[in-house]
Amino acid sequence: MCVCGCVWRGVCVVFCWGLLLSDGGGQWGNGFFPFFDSIEWFPLMNMLTRESTYHYCNLCFCFFLVPLKISFRLSLPADQPVDMMNIKAFTLVSAVERELLMGDKERINIECVECCGRDLYVGTNDCFVYHFLLEERPVPAGPATFTATKQLHRHLGFKKPVNELRAASALNRLLVLCDNSISLVNMLNLEPVPSGARIKGAATFALNENPVSGDPFCVEVCIISVKRRTIQMFLVYEDRVQIVKEVSTSEQPLAVAVDGHFLCLALTTQYIIHNYSTGVSQDLFPYCSEERPPIVKRIGRQEFLLAGPGGLGMFATVAGISQRAPVHWSENVIGAAVSFPYVIALDDEFITVHSMLDQQQKQTLPFKEGHILQDFEGRVIVATSKGVYILAPLPLEKQIQDLLASRRVEEALVLAKGARRNIPKDKFQVMYRRILQQAGFIQFAQLQFLEAKELFRSGQLDVRELISLYPFLLPTSSSFTRSHPPLHEYADLNQLTQGDQEKMAKCKRFLMSYLNEVRSTEVANGYKEDIDTALLKLYAEADHDSLLDLLVTENFCLLTDSAAWLEKHKKYFALGLLYHYNNQDAAAVQLWVNIVNGDVQDSTRSDLYEYIVDFLTYCLDEELVWAYADWVLQKSEEVGVQVFTKRPLDEQQKNSFNPDDIINCLKKYPKALVKYLEHLVIDKRLQKEEYHTHLAVLYLEEVLQQRASTSGKGAEASETQAKLRRLLQKSDLYRVHFLLERLRGAGLPMESAILHGKLGEHEKALHILVHELRDFAAAEDYCLWCSEGRDPPHRQHLFHTLLAIYLRAGPAAHELAVAAVDLLNHHATEFDAAQVLQMLPDTWSVQLLCPFLMGAMRDSVHARRTMQVALGLARSENLIYTYDKMKLKGSSIRLSDKKLCQICQNPFCEPVFVRYPNGGLVHTHCAASRHTNPSSSSPGTRT
């Protein structure tokens, strides 16, 4: 049973041509039938038809082969349309009326037709050749009309009909087959050539439209000889013919077409491809010549059209493969022609038009008694025995528009591409771009967005055509008007989607994606404001994350339209970015401040306050920064002060903001003031006494306030106190006496000790640390930091002072005695051992001071040995110099009046000179002047 339900007895192989049909794009072999593109197809068909009988199903286009042991089944795609005959591609136009050709002679019949340019030739059964001149009159909105003017007619001198006519315009010759003989006649006057050259014994013939001889003054003719199973190749010149090849075939050839060295032959039972140069033949597929006449027609370079079994028009290349799916025409087809992209077939009652793109029948024209169908350089001519007609194609643009109206986009595009050969380049490009744009809108309306995007790009669509479909996206100032005639039939997106919100959302997402892609390409040139404004509106409406990305990069959003749209959709933060991009920073900051204050609602950024601070930090408008300084500081002193502390380095170098002005502003914000002074003193290291003193006073006040507080913030107090101590220790710029006065009675002995140390009152400072604080570790640290960067004697003096304070308390002060022992044992190298031994009490044992004594001895030995090494090195160097001096003295120097001073170039007047290591001699006064004048030339580096 075939796919349509019909039953054929004994069927075991079914080929359904539906799957061979186009997938809509003309690429029929891409999906199910990859093997159809290979050379194995025709041998397969050959084997099937040779070993079985066949039947054709007219309902589902199935080709049945019986009986075989192979079972193969294909099915029609579910979405393949059945009826595609809704295109009017051709109109039948009369070219030569019956009366013009034969007048009252009823017995005259047309046997053959040839057309070359405007020249139309008709051969009749009474051995006449008629010459007509065709005048074509194009009609803008429809098919062209033709008028034939009879030029002359001539009898060929035989009593047989004229079987075939072929024009060789390069030779100005007409080849006429009559009575198995091909004669050469002049194309203009129909006179035979004077030489009488002819080809005899020809049953039929074909011209090689892809000649191999390379001679422009001859044509290649292939004839089927009346001799059985013989093909002959001739070269035909203006007045002579020359045979070049004779080929024998396995069966009697019935029809032939030629392309280069390749012959496509219809033999008695099959079609073959034969290379007459190499002698290689390849079988294509069988057919039955007894049931119907064969058709072999060259349709293009190395490609032929053949009438296959079951009413199929098969395509074959010279390689023996088929690169196109077959077309289904009548089993009684008489003739076939190709007018791209159509295959035209003629049978007893109809002319049928089939598409080479999807193999569907597109048009049917009633035409009875027709027996000739041929195409001549794109012009298709049909004829009955009494009249000649032309299949005038409708304008391609109208055909294409009809296809587009039927939503058949791929067919329309391929048809448009095929029209390139017939239309001037500039005109074609304009037409093709418009077709691509129309096709894009068709795909867009069907929500085929990927296809639509490619078509829009290829068609160089004015993107505003697409934007205009979306209400209110184009700026109000835009002067855009849609293309006329329109590219589509939709007023807007609402009509296109019929109010379907889901479809509308998909369309908007597509436009967002498309505009984002094209905004940085040449497509956007001249329309950047329209594109970016539309993109901003789409982003705002969809609450899309890319809205902010658009506004913080280079964009061309129109301020008026965009601001109103952002405000409508409550995108106030984005509106601020828009203001900033348009150099309206004051409006931007005020809008953001309103969001933070809660005057307007926008949750875009939860850290908007920090964003404002950061924005003001990098803002170059000083007035704007000062205007909002109080606001940011009131919100948070620690964060707000960053407006001043984190300003870019280049701006700080310009001193755009005077520190004194900032300090004056921050007086109301103590925490911010401390942060800013820390920035000046610690980060920027400004060497200004006022800032250091001010910071120290603020630290001190905070420490005093914390000590007076009863809230128990011990950790905070120690942190601030540590900052104060570090500042007092590290800085040398603050006013020491002023701070000492502030510390009087404050109960801060450590800070007092540091300040006394800054005044050089080390004993007083150490006394505080030892006797008031009882902090012996702090006393040792005091000695260390006070001696940083000073000479060793100064450090030694400090440690001796501390030791003296420890020992001054006497033996009874056990705690201080232990501190003294620890000091000596831990810092043995910082003391003069001899002096220390005189200071120590006699009651202290050697064992108690063992670490100190060992350290002192080790340091003393190390110092002595270091000095010995230095002394040895000095003696060695002196010995080297002495040796050099002796070497210099050991050689004699001859002095004469010819010797010249190397500096002044004057002779020596007395035997007194200076000799340099390089042997140069100079006057003593010249050597002295060289040493006093660094710019003088130096003959040597050592004397």
In the sheet that holds 110-116, the strands lie side by side as: 110-116, 119-124, 128-139, 142-155
pLDDT > 80? residue 876: yes
* Predicted confidence (pLDDT) at residue 810 exceeds the cutoff of 50: yes
Residue % of the chain over a pLDDT of 90: 45
CA distance 211 to 261: 8
12-37: per-residue pLDDT in tens? 333 333 333 333 333 333 333 333 33
User: Rounded to whole angstroms, what are the CA distances from 365 to 92, 93, 145?
Assistant: 8, 12, 17
In this predicted model, which residue has the larger pLDDT, 642 or 78? 642
Could you tell me the CA-to-CA distances from 602 to 570, 573, 582, 596 in Å, in that order? 7, 7, 21, 9
**Alpha-carbon distances, residue 447 vs 139, 483, 508, 511, 746 (angstroms):** 37, 22, 11, 12, 83
The pLDDT, as a whole number, for residue 281 is 93
Running DSSP on this structure, what letter comes out for residue 935? T
804: which residues sit within 8 A by CB, 6+ positions away? 839
Q: What is the pLDDT of residue 327?
A: 92
Q: pLDDT tens-digit profile of 195-238?
A: 888 999 999 999 999 999 888 889 999 999 998 899 999 999 99
- pLDDT given for residue 938 in this prediction: 52
pLDDT digits (tens, 9 = 90+) for 734-787: 999 999 888 888 888 888 888 988 888 888 888 888 888 888 888 888 888 888
CA atoms lying within 13 Å on the CB side of residue 346: 24
Q: How far apart are CA 69 and CA 123, in angstroms?
A: 51
- The contacts of residue 477 (CB under 8 Å, 6+ apart) are 558, 560, 561
Mutual angle of helices 572-581 and 559-568, in 10-degree steps: 170
pLDDT at 591 over 50: yes
Q: Looking at the predicted structure, is the pLDDT value of residue 797 above 90?
A: no
At residue 56, the pLDDT reads 39
**Is the pLDDT score of 289 beyond 60?**
yes
Q: How far apart are CA 894 and CA 915, in angstroms?
A: 12
How many C-beta neighbours within 10 Å does residue 405 have? 13
Q: What is the mean pLDDT of residues 319-327?
A: 89
pLDDT of residue 62: 40
Q: What is the 3-state secondary structure (H, E, C) of 702-736?
A: HHHHHHHCCCCCHHHHHHHHHHHHHHHHHCCCCCH
Mean pLDDT to the nearest integer, 589-616? 94
Residue 64: band (very low, low, confident or very high) from pLDDT cuts 50, 70, 90: very low
Q: What mean pLDDT, rounded, does the chain reach? A: 83
- Sign of the C-alpha dihedral, residues 683, 684, 689, 690? negative
